[in-house]
Amino acid sequence: MTDRLVGDLPVRDAESVAADVPADAELVVSGFGSVGYPKAVPVALAESDRDLDLTIVSGGSVGAEIDVDLVEANAVARRFPYQARPPAREAVNDGSIEFHDRNISTLGDEVEFGHLVDADIAIVEALSVGPDWLIPTTSIGQTPAFIAGADELVVELNHSVPESVREFHDIYRVGLPPNREPIPLTDPGGRIGTDHVTFDPEKLTAVVETECLDQPYEFRDPTPEDRDIAANLGDFLETELEDSLLFEDSLRIQFGVGSLGNALMGALGDADFGDRDLIYFGEVIQDGLLDLLDDGELDSASATSLALSREGQDRLYEHADRYTEDIVLRPADVSNNPALIDRFGVVAVNSALEVDLFGHVNSTHVNGNYAMNGVGGSGDFNRNAAIAVLALPSTAASGELSRVVPMVPHVDHTEHDIDIVVTEQGVTDLRGNSPRETAESLVENCAHPDFRDGLREYLDRGLDRGGHIPHHLETAFDWQIER
């Protein structure tokens, strides 16, 4: 297994590398969308029987080797800025792991400046490596910034990833403030970089060869609610495209990761956008985008990760030449860059746990205190998009809970960040609304009929009290407390 090793490199086994990791090391690891993360060294650390107190920073979600095996070995003390697997989630919520959530676009800067951690070792996955360069696998994420910010570098050379994946990469390094120059990308599907990351050869301390597969996404089949949300979103977009000069030639769109986002991607092919180009500029490539590319409905797709199902991975690997002209993988500080989101006039479509009557959104914390995952890139896109769309079902828990609530107990996105709310019930356009108008429209158009009377009663109590935002604080969280 040496055909992808170029030069005389320090090849070692995972166990010896793990033995050299300091017990309290601050580690930065590759990975985004649960793909492209290191696997062998984290497992070796988990199985080492050492008393470890690690800090782990990843660009996005990673696999079970990190957020299950290491967590269950009690090896993780601090975790930034995203977690999405039950053992990590439980440890974050019981306080045994200290967790800090961040927006994606600025994470690399914080690591390079040492503001978030003083990174001891970067452990990254690659499909090829040389003395001062490597080619990432199925995600780029924050790998370039993490390598630049760490004192040492360990590379996991994964032979299970086809070398053709390198054809998707467009790795461009943004400079650091205060001397950062504009990113010279003028076409969402254009290329301005290379297929590899360069590094100081003195940093490279080990190369570990593996054949470990990524754990694929498991997308559920679209539900009737998903289809209704997609239909409502499509209707809104069709109308918006006709009314706005922003979409004279094309629609540039982003979707959040997950089953709903994947279903919404797939449903875009049913909408009538005329002769406009459909362009994706976001964080993750999911199966729904491959479907659109196969059907000739999508002009290009730019992201930082190939977050695919097993079937999607197989399709991409077997027919990579079909997709290399249309799919571009970039570092996360480019894919999520606020200036580019603004430059391309992106329509951001993200989901959440709940929205309140006045447009505040909770994406991350059940009942305001139980962390589910992390804010991810939704903040980057919602705050900088031409139109920010919140798409979510109107209920949860098999219809027992309303996702439209009087007041969210945790705010990830404020009323100033969201323009449109879409549920299976309908669409609310928040633009230009007063808080009272927003509340009335959300009740009538987006809330489930079973909960509309209760929401109206809350709003009436607030209106009786008066004020610009008519909350009734004494009863604002009654629904959360009762459940």
Asked if pLDDT for residue 84 goes beyond 90, the answer is no
Q: Is 325 a catalytic residue?
A: no
Residue range 224-482, CATH number: 3.40.1080.20
What does the alpha-carbon distance between residue 445 and residue 464 come to, in Å, rounded to a whole number? 23
Task: Estimate the crossing angle of helix 287-294 against helix 310-318, to 10 degrees.
Answer: 40
In CATH terms, the fold of domain 14-210 is: Glutaconate Coenzyme A-transferase (3.40.1080)
Residue 1, pLDDT score:
45
Q: How many CB atoms lie within 10 A of CB 446?
A: 23
**Residue 427 phi, psi dihedral angles, 5° rounding:** -130, 140
Amino acid found at 462: G
Entry pTM? 0.95
Per cent of the chain over pLDDT 90 is: 87
Residue 2, pLDDT score:
54
Q: Which residues pair with 421 in a beta bridge?
A: 390, 428
| Radius of gyration over every alpha carbon of the chain, rounded to an integer in angstroms | 23
Residue count of the chain, please give it. Answer: 483
Per cent of the chain over pLDDT 70 is: 99
Q: What is the pLDDT of residues 38-51, one digit of tens each?
A: 999 999 999 999 99
Identify the CA nearest to 141 among candidates 164, 111, 116.
Answer: 111
Q: Which of 26, 283, 424, 440 is catalytic?
A: 283
Least confident range from 66-70, 267-271, 343-347: namely 267-271
Residue limits of CATH 3.40.1080.10 in the chain: 14-210
53-83 b/e (C-beta count within 10 Å ≥ 16 → b)? ebbbbbbbbbbbbbbbbbbebebbbbbbbbb
What does the alpha-carbon distance between residue 30 and residue 212 come to, in Å, rounded to a whole number? 15
Q: What is the pLDDT of residues 298-307, one digit of tens each?
A: 999 999 999 9
Reported as a pLDDT band with limits 50, 70 and 90, residue 350 is very high
Reported as a pLDDT band with limits 50, 70 and 90, residue 346 is very high
What are the tokens at 98? 């200290």
Average pLDDT for residues 5-24, to the nearest whole number?
96
Residue limits of CATH 3.40.1080.20 in the chain: 224-482
Residue 482, pLDDT score:
61
CB under 8 Å to 3, separation ≥6 — which residues?
none
The H or E element containing residue 45 is helix 40-46
Q: What is the pLDDT of residues 97-148, one digit of tens each?
A: 999 999 999 999 999 999 999 999 999 999 999 999 999 999 999 999 999 9
Measure Cα distances from 182 to 266, 411, 419, 421 in Å: 33, 31, 27, 32
Residue 252, pLDDT score:
96
